[in-house]
Chain A
Amino acid sequence: MKEDGAINEAKCIQQVKQGSERAFEHLVRRYTPMVFGLLMELVANPEDAKDLTQEAFIKAYRNMKWFRETARFSTWLYRIAYNTGIDFQRSKKAKRHVPLEAVNEAAFSLEPSVYSGRSEVIEKGLDALSPSQRVAVVMHYNQGLKLKEVAEILECAEATARVHLFRGLKRLREVLPQDL
């Protein structure tokens, strides 16, 4: 994607609005990893996340005329992806939420040597968060989004996003080993 990075995003979006499929393909390739990552946080199943990534991009394309350049395209796209993931969860009535006991058990059952793959421990901890908390924590701390952008994705006030973040961290502290 590095060579694509030179392409001006605003110009690219303008071209998409004028009907350029090529410009949209550029955006798809550029944002697929991030959108997929966000959806994995929500649905935890790679195949579902791939399908939902496609769905999110198609929704974005069909609604491109409503996108205003005053907002960041990535945030707008994340919001579409987030809503797509939430809708999917609702339709499946599948809760990703894992009981606290199960998480603790899983985390502490890991051998210390596995901590090099501590990602797995973090993963288990993240499983214990609500979708909003999880998205807030991952998007802010892991993806480096500003709280304002997180709030836009979650469609809430910035103060609320901050509370999601705080509660998410608190929950992580509860479920993860203290000596992490």
Chain B
Amino acid sequence: MYCPDQEYWMAYASGVLAPEESSVCLDHLDECELCRLELQSVQALIESVSQHQIYQLSEEDIDQISSNVMATVHEDRRNFHPRHRASMPIVLQWVLPVFVFVLGLWSGKVFFNTSDITGGMATQESRLTAYWSNMEVLFLNWSNVNVKQLRDDVLDHNVAEMRKAYASTKYFRERADKVSDRELLLEIEYLLSGALEEALYSPRTAFEHFHRGVREDALLDRIRHLQLWDAEEKAYNVQI
């Protein structure tokens, strides 16, 4: 076997070699004087390092370090909590917790208001519930109309009640006495079914519309479309 280079013995001495490699090294050592010397040299180096006098501290130094550390520790223990409280500006002591509390309430409100209607897991039923709830809010804001009742009135063709509900809204008050029974029925039905459809297929848009005030214009547009459609239907009927 050729003599390995000195790195080999360095690796052996520092324990990097695998056990089987080490045994090869040892076998070779028996027959090679040069490698024995090389290994001895490496071991002498390790011995020198191990006997190397590491930096020593005097007792005074240790006393000083210890007392400095303990002074800080003592101060930490004595002052940590009170100091932090005292050093906190008075504004932060009260305003910050209140701000965090209000922020929590607000974010909770936003989350629970939107999660039902926008959540991907919401079922159609829950969307419908949310829809009715929002429609209720919308109409209540306008006029205290009970939308569920209005829906029932539409289904029952209860025109008198529908007219009464219509009259109590801000936007449709003037039309309440002008439109015919059929127009009233169509308008409200369209109004409700249109909004319902939107709530079913695009609940987020519906929700945003309700809260951005876009909804009113959209509804009025729909009514205008309805009137056009109704006029066309009348013209068609006349032709027939």
- Which A residues contact B (CB, under 8 angstroms)? 19, 21, 24-25, 28-29, 32-33, 36-37, 40, 46, 49-50, 53-54, 57-58, 61-62, 118-119, 122-123, 126, 137-138, 141-143, 147, 162-163, 165-166, 169-170, 172-173, 176, 178, 180
Contact = CB atoms under 8 A, between A and B. Distances in A.
A24 B74 CA distance: 11
Contacts of A122: 48-49, 52
A22 to B, nearest CB: 9
Given A61-B73, A166-B11, A172 B66 contact: no
A61 B76 contact: yes
Contacts, number: 103
A162 B16 contact: yes
Nearest to B56: A33
B237 interface: no
A126 B70 CA distance: 33
Given A54-B72, A165-B15, A166-B10, A36 B66 contact: no
30 contacts: A21-B74, A21-B77, A28-B65, A28-B66, A28-B70, A32-B65, A33-B56, A36-B55, A37-B54, A37-B55, A40-B55, A49-B55, A50-B61, A54-B65, A54-B68, A58-B72, A61-B76, A62-B76, A118-B48, A122-B49, A126-B49, A137-B49, A138-B52, A141-B49, A162-B14, A163-B16, A169-B14, A169-B45, A169-B46, A173-B45
A57 B77 contact: no
B87 interface: no
A138 B54 CA distance: 9
Given A21-B70, A24-B73, A33 B62 contact: yes
The main secondary structure of chain A at its interface with chain B is helix
B70 A170 contact: no
B184 interface: no
A142 B54 contact: yes
